Structure 1
Amino acid sequence: MTQRSVTPSVTGRADVLAQAHARSRDFGLRASEAPDFHPLRPLALRDLVDCNRSLYAHALPVMETLHAQIVDTDSMVLLTDSNGVILHSLGDSDFVEKAERVALCPGVSWSEAHRGTNAVGTALAEGQPTAVHGGEHFLQANRILTCSCAPIADPYGRTIGALDVSGDPRGFHKHTLALVRMSAQIIENQLFANQFGDAVRVRFHARSEFIGTLFEGLAAFGADGALLAANRSALFQFGRPLDTLLGQPFEMLFGTAFPAALQKALRAPGECLTLMLPSGVRVLARAEYAARPAFSADSGGPRTVTPSSSVAPTSGKPRAAAITFATLDTGDARMAAVLDRVEKVRGRDIALLVLGKTGTGKEWLARAMHEESPRRDAPFVAVNCASLPDTLIEAELFGYEDGAFTGARKRGNVGKIVQADGGTLFLDEIGDMPLAQQVRLMRVLQERCVVPLGGTRAVPVDVRIVCATHRNLRAMIEEGTFREDLYYRINGLVVTLPALAERTDLPVLVERILTRLRSDEPDSERMPTRVSQDVLEYFARCRWPGNLRQLANVLRTAGIMAEGAAEIDVEHLPDDFLHDCEPASDEPLRAPPAVESSAPSAPSPPARMEELQATLIEQTLARNNGNISAAARELGLARNTVYRYMRIRTTH
């Protein structure tokens, strides 16, 4: 894709055409070649349109307006993708028949490599608006056309398509190219507004009458005041290309502190601010946002407040305490390093991929990332790709229209992606997503819009994607079970969470999880807020195959069992805890605190671990008068485990 330039090329038109003809010859084309009458098959064309859904959706109404302006002039309007393949056309019926004789129809590539010098292919190759008339075409068959084309760029300056008007040379008008350029710029500005609907957008120009027109500069800023993107006019006014401006602070670009400028805009909505460009040129500007920003004393910047109607209802339950980076920073060095890396990209449009074993807290990290970002007041939507059947994941993610398939809701379903609009979409176990859905997800990430099942209308979406998996995605790519293009789209920043058995912050984790359980559980005021030293020692020797999820479940059950007690003790642990979670080393089970008993003292330590454990069980059984259940509870073992060790003791 071509990076747009700040200023139009100064190369003369004759030179542009000469270079285009030279490229055509280099491609091995002959001027006498006949047109190719083999467009893409309907299914392939539909897939290509789907891949360019956002461009297509924003271009159609502009194409209709443009066609209305040139109607009855023996011409047609064409939309192509970034490779010059025609996606859609509108035209006078008489001319459409003539155009089809030279393969000027949807599904056909008009790149220079396929069609030689022509307005579409040459405009895309040069990255600037181009007109090619009659005999200026390389192929003789195309000299029945006069064509005017302008490339279309996305908000980041990447060429994503082209808009073209082609017609009979006898009907050529010198203003056609200007009309096409303006129409392409309308599409670009609409794409810009859709992409940055929740960012702070600044409209500016040196002359106030140009604000609100196609000639205005558009710049989008994040909550921290860093530049996210700028349109063609803004780049022309800044006098610099986009790649040198991205991330630049508002103050450096406009000579005013970001919070101060926004406060002025809030006090006088609709009025222009006077700002200073780096060149010293004074411009008038208006700042706007989808919702009134709430200022954060910490960041000095705004954060968008999404109307409450856009957030899913919470069924009357009070919102749980937010999970933040501070919540997750519990003293482990490896975890602190992960948080430090993730914190550097908060508020930036960089995809996050979280790796780690099952239960290591991947969703907690995603929630913290959301809570610490400018999207914190918008929805956080989590989807576990492994828990949904293949037949349902597509409908759950992308939604469906009324009647899309049997058994669906009467009014359809918007889908998880649209529910997360403006916020964060967390895709857990992304490695378990079927290949067909990987393709659709890739399109959503590229086009930033969703077409529900059974629907034709593209729904624009603005979501931050956080993905997680315990699988080796690189190995899956080699096996052909995970798409390589999707992998490189979701792994902007990759972090790996440590397993619980490798962490050094177990006591703090236990305390924080208990505190959170007390706030989440109904009627949990009597749940203890700490565990005994004996329990901590049991925990320290466990391998924790279920990691943090297992720890939280054990503490929840134990907390309920210990309601009213000062702390959680061994007797409150689930019966099968030690059965499912064997000690991490060859150390024997630690005996519970000594209780006065008439039972005989333990013999000298046996050589084998099993015998020591069986001896411990015997002592506990003696204290509990042979009651298996009571002994198992005291030891934190399942009853079957007690029976098994009793059999071992008997055989020895």
Structure 2
Amino acid sequence: MTTSLSQRQHVESIFRALANPAQAGEEEIIERSWRRCIDRYGLDPSRPTPARYVPAPTLRERLDQADALLQVARSGVEQLYRQVSSLGYVVLLTDARGIAVQFLGDEANRHEHQRSGLFLGADWSEAHAGTCAVGTCIQERTALTCHHSDHFSAHHIGLTCTAAPIFDPHGELLAVLDISAYRSPESKSSQTFALQLVKFTAKMIEDAYFLQQYSGYHLVGLDRSREFVQIYRRYLIAIEEDGRLVAANTAGRKLLAHHELPLPGPGETRPFKAWNIRDLLNAEVDEVLAIPQNTDDRVQAFHTRRHHELHFATLIEPQRRRAPSAGASQQESSLAPLEALADDDPAMRDTLNRAARLRNEPINILVIGETGTGKERMARALHDSSRRRDKPFVAINCAAMPESLIESELFGYEPGSFTGARSKGMKGLIAQADGGTLFLDEIGDMPLQLQTRLLRVLAEQEVLPIGASRPIKVDLRVVAATHRDLRILIEAGGFREDLFYRLNGASLRLPPLRERADQSYLIRRLLQELQAERGGQRVRLRGDAMSALLAYPWPGNIRELQNALRYALATCEGDEVVVSDLPAECTSGRLAHPAARIPAGTPDAAGIAPGPGRGEDPLQEALSRLHWNISAVARELGLSRPTIYRHMKRLGIVPPNLQDAS
């Protein structure tokens, strides 16, 4: 790292500035920090302070304490990194003491990051690092840029760092968000936009944390603009059902103080004064709670009671189900198996809405999706939510059953029908599904001669066991599933067209896991299911493990996720899963999540799988720069994920985790 001033010049400039202190602005903030470094911490600017890392047990403890924030902040931190990484910045999220609990940076510069302290587990408290963006932000509780020679230590004067505080709903400092770069223009004004961007992202994270913490309350969003209130919601205030104020975000607390309705400040033990929302707005509580029903755009204008200022209000209702009517309750109960398959993913909601309408219709359904996307779960949910739920659900994997047995297994046989047959004969799987649902998985792999017999079963609703002279009537609904394109198989002569139309009374398409917006929900639901299988074992996912799972592309879809969680439950110690408990393929090449693998005091041994160096091929360069996140590479290059995988195979590009395995 190069420096713009010699060490001696830097020391002289600090003491010269302290002899003639600035009167206001950011210069005064920096000089106050310099004075603390000398008078309070006993630091010497002529002695560089190399990066210091907390021991691994301490880092794990800090990660545990920051877990709730990390789960909320992940998207904001990654979005910020995407915006600034091309300009040479790294992103740090530290806790309230200045310990880096999340980090994103270019893996090609990993050793430089570690030497400089721009890495996970680094201590950026002012008492150790001197004047710096993170440490001084913690002391001053304000956003700032610490540019080049603003730093106290000569070790840091080549850096430019910009940080903003994140406060909890009580006004306590929760974390600090920082972006830093090794090279930048000499002028501090070059970082003006960086400061605004970090402040904006910090507010987004702070407000998302507030919304999560108070999701069980009515949340009033206020803004001076009708157009922006539903999007930006500058002021957020949580209220009880009777309108009593519970909490507010930072801007909301300032608004309340402006109207002389202050909430308790950080560390204050005085009883909370029972302010009500009607003390702020010139409105009754019922008017505020009825905002979603009162206007078409779910926004209503109110004047403040004390200063008569116009604000536009919107309402976020509590995340709890209202008691439904008896009829609605019965309907909701029957749809529960389908509802459990997804949360808020648009593609899945569309599929589930269609499935709900079809569940009792006398038509066969074809479920289409990549291997592992949950086709059998969908079939089972259709059955369990239908009027056939009390009858059998029989699942057959057409690809796994030996061809020599599939006919006898499907259709059954009479006693003595062939050599080796049971003396009493056998009831076939199709007959066993009478009155219920027959699930045919991987239907595209069924042999052609059996397709003809299955077609007759579907057309006549009767089955003829081997060796029998009379068919048996059956009442069944068939749900078939495939990951193959059956139309292509039909063109190639591998699948009967008439059977396709018999099976495809309606089709339901399942999106791959990597494209789903409700991955967090699926991870938690599957974890609960696996814990129930293990006798009710109670284990939680720590934020770093959740972040790694959300960042992984899941080529094996839900089945691979289930296996990864099963592995994590088997290997974790205690009552939580951390990132090092996950399979190696879920964490390889991710510079953002090496936390649990950093040995005490050894930042260079972070255990990160090395990626290939930057080459002349743009695909390989993008894969390395974006940490082998295929989705991110596909978005940047404007290609689909399958196309990226095809190009990787053609060019012989192997991901780091597979290199290690070989």
Which TM class, normalised by the smaller chain length? 0.3 to 0.5
Normalized against structure 1, the TM-score is what? 0.44
Larger Rg computed on CA atoms: 1
- Point out which structure has higher relative CO (alpha carbons under 8 A, 6+ apart): 2
Normalized against structure 2, the TM-score is what? 0.44
